[in-house]
């Protein structure tokens, strides 16, 4: 049974959401408000009745995503092979809450846990097909990668200093020599093709499945227009063996893009590992495994 975290993170709770709805969208006043079972970090999300959700940024750095998603999701949706969050309304600061917020349509499904997917290579192809379709969407006027996307879609070089600090901190605990080679290989490449749409956080928690099939992709808060290398990280965080190869073939990216993708995966895993290696053994083991897989993948393709 899923465990719903305690309400109130970032000063946001169900009572606040009920007050905001009553004040700004009285037509929905009285509908039940409950935290979702699997919540993200950048936003808090609540069920509103049976058919809607309320999504509220947890800090100023995540506020830009509200207008971005509200503007672009309806434009991208018709060109995508699976559902994305339907935008129903935009709320404004109020009731002591300082940020804009949004009301979305509820998308049925469960997050893409390995235990819910019988045919992982087939699922990997479905994820790749979504990414290819997203990259084919018209990028004219789209938000160029930058602070709003936490520099996903830009060069991983933005995180060079942070990655080097993590490598120094983890010396003797991971193979930092091989890891540095992966990072250097990522920085040695650059995207020369026209910028395309990227999601920015293609991870199991943002992929919804029903009966083992991909049915929806959520959380476009880090999306934008730029380099799609960041969207390939799932090759090591969720896929392996046959499913990784199926994803690689279906997503149709060149070797330089894959080199940058390994850099993105390495940066995040090193960062998380450096923060939890002595305090959270399970989380540390997960990120150590990703690092191991990235290094092995680099060695095979060097």
pLDDT in tens, 13-38: 999 999 999 999 999 999 999 999 87
Span 136-154, mean pLDDT?
A: 97
Confidence of residue 9 (pLDDT cuts 50, 70, 90): confident
Rounded distance between C-alpha atoms, residue 100 and residue 71, angstroms: 14
Strand ordering across the sheet containing 33-35: 33-35, 43-48, 52-57, 101-105, 87-91
Residues 157-211 pLDDT 10s: 999 999 999 999 999 999 999 999 999 999 999 999 999 999 999 999 999 999 9
Position 1 pLDDT exceeds 70: no
Report pLDDT for 134: 98
Q: What is the pTM of this model?
A: 0.94
Rounded distance between C-alpha atoms, residue 146 and residue 24, angstroms: 32
Residue 124 token pair: 């990997």
Nearest to 42 by CA among 156, 157, 148: 148
Q: What percent of the chain has pLDDT over 90?
A: 94
Rounded distance between C-alpha atoms, residue 224 and residue 261, angstroms: 16
Contacts of residue 232, Cβ cutoff 8 Å, sequence gap at least 6: 251, 253, 257, 258, 261, 264
Report pLDDT for 4: 53
């Amino acid at each position: 049974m899923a465990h719903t975290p305690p309400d109130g993170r970032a000063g946001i709770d169900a009572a606040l959401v009920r007050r905001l709805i009553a004040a700004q969208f009285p037509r929905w006043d009285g509908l039940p408000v409950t935290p979702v079972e699997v919540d993200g970090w950048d936003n808090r999300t609540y069920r509103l009745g049976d058919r809607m959700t309320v999504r509220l940024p947890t800090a100023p750095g995540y506020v830009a995503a509200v207008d971005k998603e509200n503007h672009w999701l309806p434009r991208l949706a018709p060109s995508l092979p699976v559902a994305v969050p339907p935008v129903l309304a935009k709320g404004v600061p109020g009731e002591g809450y300082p940020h804009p917020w949004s009301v979305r349509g509820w998308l049925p499904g469960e997050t893409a846990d390995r235990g819910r997917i019988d045919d992982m290579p087939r699922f990997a192809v479905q994820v790749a097909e979504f990414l290819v379709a997203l990259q084919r969407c018209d990028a004219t006027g789209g938000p160029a990668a930058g602070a709003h996307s936490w520099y996903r879609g830009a060069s991983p070089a933005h995180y060079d200093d942070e990655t080097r600090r993590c490598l120094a901190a983890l010396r003797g605990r991971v193979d930092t020599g091989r890891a540095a080679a992966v990072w250097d290989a990522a920085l040695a490449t650059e995207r020369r093709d026209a910028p395309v749409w990227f999601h920015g956080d293609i991870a199991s928690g943002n992929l919804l499945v029903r009966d083992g099939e991909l049915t929806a992709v959520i959380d476009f808060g880090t999306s934008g227009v730029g380099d799609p290398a960041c969207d390939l990280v799932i090759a090591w965080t969720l896929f392996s063996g046959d499913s990784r190869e199926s994803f690689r073939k279906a997503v149709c990216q060149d070797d330089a893009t894959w080199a940058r993708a390994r850099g993105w995966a390495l940066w995040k895993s090193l960062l998380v590992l450096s923060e939890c290696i002595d305090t959270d053994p399970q989380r540390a083991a997960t990120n150590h495994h990703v690092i191991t897989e990235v290094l092995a993948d680099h060695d095979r393709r060097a």
